[in-house]
Amino acid sequence: MQRYFISNDQINDNNIVIVGDDVHHITRVLRMKTGDELLCSCSESGKTAHAKIVEITSDTVQVDVVKWLETTSELPVRVAIANGLPKGDKLELVIQKGTELGAHHFIPFIAARSIVKWDEKKGPKKVDRWNKISKEAAEQSHRSFIPKVETPLTFQQLMEKSKEWDYKIVAYEEDAKVGEKSAFATTLQKIKPNESILLVVGPEGGLTEKEVDKLKEHGFISCALGPRILRTETAPLYGLAAISYQFELL
Amino acid sequence: MQRYFISNDQINDNNIVIVGDDVHHITRVLRMKTGDELLCSCSESGKTAHAKIVEITSDTVQVDVVKWLETTSELPVRVAIANGLPKGDKLELVIQKGTELGAHHFIPFIAARSIVKWDEKKGPKKVDRWNKISKEAAEQSHRSFIPKVETPLTFQQLMEKSKEWDYKIVAYEEDAKVGEKSAFATTLQKIKPNESILLVVGPEGGLTEKEVDKLKEHGFISCALGPRILRTETAPLYGLAAISYQFELL
């Protein structure tokens, strides 16, 4: 069943008003009619309703809730991925796949070895695009929450912001090279449901020693994600899959 | 240190002769000289040598082994990924990222819902390209083994071939929808080092019920990879990351 994301103020008890681009998608792309069924997920509350179309106008689709669903497809821990700004469309891959894998939040940051310059003028358009990718991936993967993608932070801003998370982890290539094995799993096993994790990953070429030292000063645990050297866009996906395995399957 | 893959017959006790494209890479791209050091990995034996260049000719580079390395970056279990042939360049992504994540073998197969037609004429060139991607990803991620990518099999051939693996798993979207949670982790926990796993993943649109039934008849265990619906190219990466987490970090 097709899923649409709504905000709290679109809900009126058991009636929901769908507006914006989704109206076009429902009426023109899928050509749905009164009586057809769909899913409405509210990203703020994490709740999902199974609903039925009761009225279609040119700019709204009204649906009645058939049933609020009990199950959730959300990770029991909130995981934010902070990626050193990479080249090309790698961050798009991280956002799309990371959303499928359950990420709660994406925070690109400008790392010492980030080659791309952040263009303040073109930036907002890029951030919009990233958020569109996370919305589409959330719909496709049956999430009930759309992860937010932030405007890239400076390293200093990332340090400040990192205080908001319960656990802070940095994936560090040099740890993989010297055979570090236990830090990641040991940390995950300490985390309780509803706690939050911030996972920092470097850009191509990795984080500098100085950056890793700074992160450790700010309470980050440095760890290897297995013995192989992962690309900047692969490391967050490993992290998220391992977190899902630990908290959802084990 | 740069890594090159060699075959057993290039090794003569403590002397290795590098030939082919790698000679160009060593002498022209990296402009290395006698006395410079590099790594030689033998994919057949899984062994890696730290070596030093002793002679350069126009078509060979001779190196002396300084030391055979003890550490391995290979997964303790052999994982083959059988992907229903997907559209576009998705399989390339699976091969590149899957190699980084430790896959041992890739087996594309023509699934009922595979939209791409396999072109017997252009096929061999495509398979060569896939194998080149796995070689490059193996070098980049410091693997000592290059995963082989097979020519796509029919579903019937995949059934036949599946007998070669100790454990056979099929990732099934319908299991994710009904909240199946334990089969994947329970199976992984039974597997011992050096055993082998075949993980089958459908193309876009998933496997048909009939295919999943056939797989089960052939001893496959059907399971969900978490509660979210993963794209065809994301599921193998989740599988490999979870296997690495289970066998290398926990």
Choose the closest CB to B228 out of A141, A225, A237. A141
CB B77 within 8 A of CB B198: no
pLDDT at B1: 82
Mutate to test the interface with A, among B69, B101, B228, B238 (most CBs of A within 10 A): B228
Q: What is the mean pLDDT of residues B16-25?
A: 93
Query: How near does any CA of chain A get to the CA of B138, in Å?
Result: 9
Contact B199, B234 (CB under 8 A): no
Instruction: Give the Cα separation of B92 and B98 in Å (integer).
Output: 9
Do you know the residue count of chain B? 250
Is the minimum CB–CB distance between A15 and chain B shorter than 8 Å? no
Note whether B238 contacts A241, CB cutoff 8 Å. Answer: yes
CB atoms within 10 A of CB B117: 8
Q: Sign of torsion, CA A82 A86 A88 A93? A: negative
Segment B49-66, tens digit of pLDDT: 999 999 999 999 999 999
* pLDDT of the residue at B174: 86
- The complex's ipTM? 0.87
DSSP H helices in chain B: 21-24, 90-100, 123-140, 155-161, 173-177, 183-190, 209-217, 235-244
Residue B131: pLDDT above 90?
A: yes
Largest CA distance in chain A: 63
Local confidence band at A161 (pLDDT 50, 70, 90 cut-offs): very high
- Read off the pLDDT band of B43 (50, 70, 90): confident
Poorest-confidence range of A3-7, A86-90, B202-206, B215-219? A3-7
Of residues A173 and A35, more confidently modeled: A35
What mean pLDDT is predicted for residues A33-62?
A: 91
Which pLDDT band, with edges at 50, 70 and 90, does A44 fall under?
A: confident
Instruction: Determine how β-strand B221-223 pairs with β-strand B167-171.
Output: parallel
Higher-confidence residue of B17 and A175: namely B17
pLDDT tier at A52, thresholds 50, 70, 90:
very high
| Closest CA of chain A from B177, distance in Å | 9
3-state secondary structure chain A: CCEEEECHHHEECCEEEECCHHHHHHHHHCCCCCCCEEEEEECCCCEEEEEEEEEECCCCEEEEEEEECCCCCCCCCEEEEEEECCCCCHHHHHHHHHHHCCCCEECCEECCCCCCCCCCCCHHHHHHHHHHHHHHHHHHCCCCCCCEECCCEEHHHHHHHHHHCCEEEEECHHHHHCCCCCHHHHHHHHCCCCCEEEEEECCCCCCCHHHHHHHHHCCCEEECCCCCCCCCCCHHHHHHHHHHHHHHHC
The predicted pLDDT at position A178 comes to 78
Give SS3 for B115: coil
B176 falls in which pLDDT band (50, 70, 90)? confident
In this predicted structure, the answer to whether residue A70 has a pLDDT above a threshold of 80 is no
Q: What separation in angstroms does the CA of A160 have from each of A155, A165, A198, B45, B149?
A: 9, 11, 13, 49, 46
pLDDT score, position B218: 97
Q: List, as ranges, residues 182-211 from B with C-beta within 8 Å of A.
A: 182, 184-185
Cβ-Cβ contacts under 8 Å, A173 against chain B: none
pLDDT in tens, B186-197: 999 999 999 999
pLDDT at B33 over 80: yes
Please state the rounded mean pLDDT for residues B167-172: 97
pLDDT at B197: 98
Q: Which domains does chain B have, with CATH numbers?
A: 3-68 (2.40.240.20), 78-249 (3.40.1280.10)
Are the C-beta atoms of residues B169 and B197 closer than 8 Å to each other? yes
Please count the other Cβ atoms lying within 10 Å of the Cβ belonging to residue B212: 20
State yes or no: pLDDT of B70 exceeds 80: no
| Residue B149, pLDDT score | 98
B101/A226 Cα distance (integer angstroms): 8
Distance from B228 to chain A by nearest Cα, in Å?
5
Strand partners, A55: A62
Q: Answer for the pair B81, B240: CB distance below 8 angstroms, yes or no.
A: yes
Instruction: Please list the residues that pair with A53 across neighbouring strands.
Output: A63
Residue reference for tokens 């990466």: B237
Which residues in A26-59 are b (16+ Cβ under 10 Å) and which e?
Answer: bbeeeebeeebebbbbbbeeebbbebebeebeee
The average pLDDT across A26-38 equals 94
Alpha carbon distance B101, B234 (integer Å): 12
The pLDDT tens digits of the residues spanning A94-145 come to 999 999 999 999 999 999 999 998 999 999 999 999 999 999 999 889 898 9
CA distance readout (Å), B158 to A57, B80, B82, B162, B166: 51, 12, 8, 6, 15
Q: How confident is the model at residue B2 (pLDDT cuts 50, 70, 90)?
A: confident
pLDDT reading at B73 higher than 90: no
Grade residue A175 by pLDDT with cuts at 50, 70 and 90: confident
- Residue A225 confidence (pLDDT): 95
Q: Is A136 on the interface with B (CB under 8 A)?
A: no
Chain B residue with the nearest C-alpha to that of A184: B249
**In which band, very low, low, confident or very high, does the pLDDT at B179 lie, cut at 50, 70 and 90?**
confident
Instruction: Please give the mean pLDDT across all residues of chain A.
Output: 94
B-chain residues near A93 (CB < 8 A): 93
Give the mean pLDDT of chain B: 94
CA distance A121 to chain B (A): 32
Q: Determine the average pLDDT of the residues in A12-26.
A: 92
Using left for φ > 0, alpha for ψ between -120 and 50, and beta otherwise, residue B43 falls in: alpha
Q: How far apart are CA A218 and CA A195, in angstroms?
A: 18
Among A199, A245, A246, A247, the strongest candidate for a mutation testing the B interface, having the largest count of B CBs within 10 A, is A245
Cα–Cα distance for residue pair B166/B154, rounded to 1 Å: 21
Q: Which residues contact A4 (CB under 8 A, 6 or more apart)?
A: A18, A22, A25, A26, A38, A39, A40, A41, A139
* Cα gap B171→B191, rounded to integer Å: 17
Q: Sheet of A61-68: strands edge to edge?
A: A3-6, A37-42, A47-56, A61-68, A15-18, A11-12
User: What average pLDDT does the segment B98-112 reach?
Assistant: 97
Range of weakest confidence among A153-162, A168-177, A226-235: A168-177
List, in order, residues 6 or more apart from A143 with CB less than 8 Å away: A41, A73, A74, A99, A102, A137, B228
3-state secondary structure of B241: helix
> Given pLDDT bands bounded at 50, 70 and 90, which one contains residue B181?
confident
A176: which strand partners? none
Of B228, B238, B246, the CB nearest to A143: B228
